Amino acid sequence: MSVTIPKRITSALLGSLAAGVVPRIGLEYIAVGRNTEIKALLHDLENVAAGGAAFRIIVGRYGSGKSFLLQLLRNHAMDRGFVVADCDLSPERRLTGANRQGVATYRELMKNIATKTRPDGGALAAILERWIASIQMQVVQSGELKQTDPAFLDTVEQEIMAVIHQMEGLVHGFDFASVLTSYWRGHRLGDDALKDAALRWLRGEFTTKTEARRALGVRVIIDDDSWYDYIKLMAQLVVGIGYQGLIVFLDEMVNLYKISHTQARQSNYEKYLTMFNDTMQGKASHLGIISAGTPQFVEDPRRGLFSYEALRSRLAESRFLKSGWQDTSGPILRLQNLSYEELFVLLTRLVDVHAAHYGEALPLCDADLTLFLQEATNRLGAEELLTPREIIRDFITLLNLMRQHPGIQFAQLLQDLEFHSDENKDDLAEFVL
């Protein structure tokens, strides 16, 4: 079947998937399965839009599709009018740390903050400008003032202050409101330096209180202890502007599990517990926190989340789920293996994307795809070890080899390369080169 897909999307899809990473765009062309999980996560978005909060941990082993599902939900959220922010944790980016690793995570989130009109991130300034523009439009539509009237900007400022003052009663709300006020004044006076200073503060880029006081007149900066409070304030701000809420995505949570120092690891889990409690107890609103990690990150009794008793008692699943059922309303969402049929559909979609990118279809039939799945299963030793990442990378390699060597048959390629054997990697390298 011929599929029309823009070149920039096919290029991003094939390049990212061949490298084993999740593309930012075009996921809808290859997404299969996960209907139960997606339905549960979309319900979370509805709760956040209604003023509630959501907390999820997507659990699956490496290559099972955790990051893919996060990215798919990110795109769904933007399409539904949410502001999104995502970050991959690393040794330099944690929830808290002696070297400002928590602030590093916050800064990455602010760098990647995105909306439907700014899906690639860096949308903080655009969000604030939209806020000011929408209030100006409201004043104009009221019919009482024109933009040329002397009292116009004063009226706009009153409306802006009304939104800002709602935040002053929240934790760190006064300082947050002061910085927003500085941004508005910079906008009103045409003072780009003041606007840039306010954006730098909101992005967590000030490192000393003295620097912040000199630039903005505020006596605090965003630090490891407070950054999550500002995430909650940001959620309130975007709702006041007209968005549905803020959805935060934290991937590679296994990096917390890898922290060797016990106290440092426990401090991060304590911060994670605070996020869990806030969202589950109603202390946060219009905020969703969706994270992803491996089973070891959650279940390891020595270093995982279950090593922290307060989290273990909250996250441990009911004994009634031992039969293999999954409660999708709970905080933990475990990814099940894709079925053989779903993997087959995935392969057909990859064939379509490949054909759309190169402008020609390869001579493949259903029997070839079935043969590939059988070979992949044999190579890995058991169907339960099959992951989408391994399937996709290997299959795209074979599609590339067929295109680069016209006339070779798919079945012949599998047989000649002994695809399921590690002994012929050199042969495969020769074909790729």
| 399 and 367 part of one domain | yes
Contact 12, 25 (CB under 8 A): yes
Contact 164, 181 (CB under 8 A): yes
Please give the single-letter amino acid code of residue 406. P
- Position 392 scores a pLDDT of 85
Tokens of 401: 């080899």
The verdict on residue 51 lying in a domain is yes
Which of 290, 268, 269, 270 lies closest to 279, judged by CA? 290
Structural domains in the chain (count)? 3
The verdict on residue 231 lying in a domain is no
* Cα–Cα distance for residue pair 58/63, rounded to 1 Å: 13
Please give the single-letter amino acid code of residue 19. A
- Position 425 scores a pLDDT of 40
Question: How far, in Å, are 26, 318, 391 from residue 29 at the CA level?
Answer: 6, 36, 17
18 confidence band (pLDDT: 50, 70, 90): confident
| 250 and 307 part of one domain | yes
| 257 and 110 part of one domain | yes
Q: Is 115 helix (H, G, I), strand (E, B) or coil?
A: coil
Percent residues over pLDDT 90 in the chain: 48
Final residue of a domain: which of 299, 334, 369?
334
| 364 and 413 part of one domain | yes
- Position 303 scores a pLDDT of 93
Longest C-alpha distance within the chain, in Å? Answer: 80
Residue-wise pLDDT tens digits, 31-64: 888 888 899 999 999 999 999 999 999 998 887 7
| 143 and 280 part of one domain | no
Contact 3, 23 (CB under 8 A): no
Residue-wise pLDDT tens digits, 279-299: 999 889 999 999 999 999 999
* Cα–Cα distance for residue pair 249/45, rounded to 1 Å: 13
422 confidence band (pLDDT: 50, 70, 90): very low
| 141 and 161 part of one domain | yes
| 89 and 137 part of one domain | no
Residue-wise pLDDT tens digits, 311-367: 998 887 766 666 566 767 789 998 877 878 888 898 999 998 898 888 888 888 888
Contact 311, 95 (CB under 8 A): no
Contact 58, 72 (CB under 8 A): no
Tokens of 337: 């293996």
Residues near 426 by Cβ (< 8 Å), separated by ≥ 6?
none
The verdict on residue 139 lying in a domain is yes
Tokens of 361: 């279809």
- DSSP track, 333-392: EEPPPPPHHHHHHHHHHHHHHHHHHHTS--S--HHHHHHHHHHHHHHHSSGGG--HHHHH
Please give the single-letter amino acid code of residue 386. L
Contact 181, 194 (CB under 8 A): no
| 129 and 78 part of one domain | no
Residue-wise pLDDT tens digits, 69-81: 999 999 999 999 9
The verdict on residue 66 lying in a domain is yes
Note down the domain range covering 211: 124-216
* Cα–Cα distance for residue pair 131/138, rounded to 1 Å: 11
Beta bridge partners of 84: 114, 247
- Position 323 scores a pLDDT of 58
Contact 55, 29 (CB under 8 A): no
pTM passes above 0.95: no
The verdict on residue 29 lying in a domain is no
The verdict on residue 232 lying in a domain is no
The verdict on residue 377 lying in a domain is yes
List, as own/partner pairs, every contact residues 165-173 make where C-beta atoms lie below 8 angstroms and the sequence separation is at least 24, other chains included: 166/236, 166/240, 167/233, 167/236, 167/237, 170/229, 170/232, 170/233, 170/236, 171/229, 171/232, 172/220, 172/226, 172/229, 172/230, 172/233, 173/233
Final residue of a domain: which of 288, 312, 334?
334
| 148 and 195 part of one domain | yes
| 194 and 210 part of one domain | yes
Q: Is 293 helix (H, G, I), strand (E, B) or coil?
A: strand
| 133 and 186 part of one domain | yes
More confident residue, 136 or 233: 233
The alpha carbon torsion through 11, 12, 13, 17 (nearest 10 deg) reads 110
245: left (phi over 0), alpha (psi -120 to 50) or beta: left
Final residue of a domain: which of 181, 216, 251?
216
Question: How far, in Å, are 39, 281, 384, 394, 400 from residue 353 at the CA level?
Answer: 26, 44, 27, 15, 12
* Cα–Cα distance for residue pair 61/84, rounded to 1 Å: 25
Beta bridge partners of 250: 87, 291
Which of 258, 206, 243 lies closest to 85, judged by CA? 243
| 130 and 85 part of one domain | no
CATH of the domain at 77: 3.40.50
* Cα–Cα distance for residue pair 410/362, rounded to 1 Å: 9
The verdict on residue 1 lying in a domain is no
Q: Region 170-184: what's the mean pLDDT?
A: 90
Q: What are phi and psi of 87, to 5 degrees?
A: -155, 140
